[in-house]
């Protein structure tokens, strides 16, 4: 009897792993993203990069800058595809006010940590973040290595 392949139902389109390494994430929000049709098709194909993306507040609205959505194959000539265009984020007024107040403080910024599907809609998880110093990054790496080593020791002792 052949083993069945288990398909993992993962709704995450892209993650920004660099954000968790460079920043200490304080509070997260869920935001809708205003996209064009070709961008949604590219997202379904997984052609997106969030590495240097951040959220900019302007005129009481939030915009996603630095994200790159690569167009699929040969694009039609009737519309212009700009992979790095600024995309509007859809949030409630209270959330916008909270983000604006936090980013106006020194040392805090807002970054996009992941894009994911929620039904047929594309959502962005954005987070208020505080930058880490280089020694904080080393501490995080040491903790991660120690936890990995601890798991190995536990796993090896349980087997015996």
pLDDT category at 77 given cuts 50, 70, 90 is low
156 in any annotated domain: no
Looking only at the bridges linking them, the beta strands covering 12-15 and 108-118 are antiparallel
pLDDT, residue 3, reads: 56
pLDDT, residue 84, reads: 79
157 in any annotated domain: no
127 in any annotated domain: yes
32 in any annotated domain: yes
Q: Containing domain of residue 30, as a range? A: 12-133
CB-CB contact of 50 with 140 (8 Å)? no
143 in any annotated domain: no
Q: What percent of the chain has pLDDT over 70?
A: 89
139 in any annotated domain: no
Domain count, the chain: 1
Distance CA 1, CA 138 (A): 48
70 in any annotated domain: yes
158 in any annotated domain: no
CATH code of the domain in which 103 resides: 2.40.280.10
pLDDT, residue 4, reads: 54
29-59: pLDDT as tens digits: 999 999 888 888 888 888 888 888 888 989 9
Q: Which tokens go with 44?
A: 């379904």
Distance CA 129, CA 106 (A): 11
Look at the pTM and tell me if it is higher than 0.75. no
Which of 103, 111, 105 has the alpha carbon at shortest distance from 22?
Answer: 111
Mean pLDDT, the chain, whole residue set? 84
């Amino acid at each position: 009897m052949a083993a069945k392949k288990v398909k993992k139902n993962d709704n995450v389109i892209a993650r920004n792993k660099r954000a968790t390494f460079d920043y200490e994430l304080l509070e997260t929000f869920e935001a809708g993203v205003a996209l064009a049709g070709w961008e949604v098709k590219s997202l379904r194909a997984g052609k997106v990069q969030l590495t240097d993306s951040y959220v900019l507040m302007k005129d009481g609205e939030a915009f996603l800058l630095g994200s790159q959505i690569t167009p699929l194959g040969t694009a039609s000539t009737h519309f212009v595809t700009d992979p790095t265009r600024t995309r509007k984020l859809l949030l409630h007024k209270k959330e916008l006010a909270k983000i604006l107040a936090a980013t106006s403080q020194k040392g805090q910024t807002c970054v996009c940590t992941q894009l994911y599907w929620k039904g047929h809609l594309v959502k962005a998880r954005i987070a208020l973040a505080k930058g880490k110093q280089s020694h904080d990054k080393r501490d995080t790496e040491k903790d991660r290595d120690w936890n990995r080593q601890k798991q190995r020791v536990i796993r090896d002792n349980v087997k015996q």
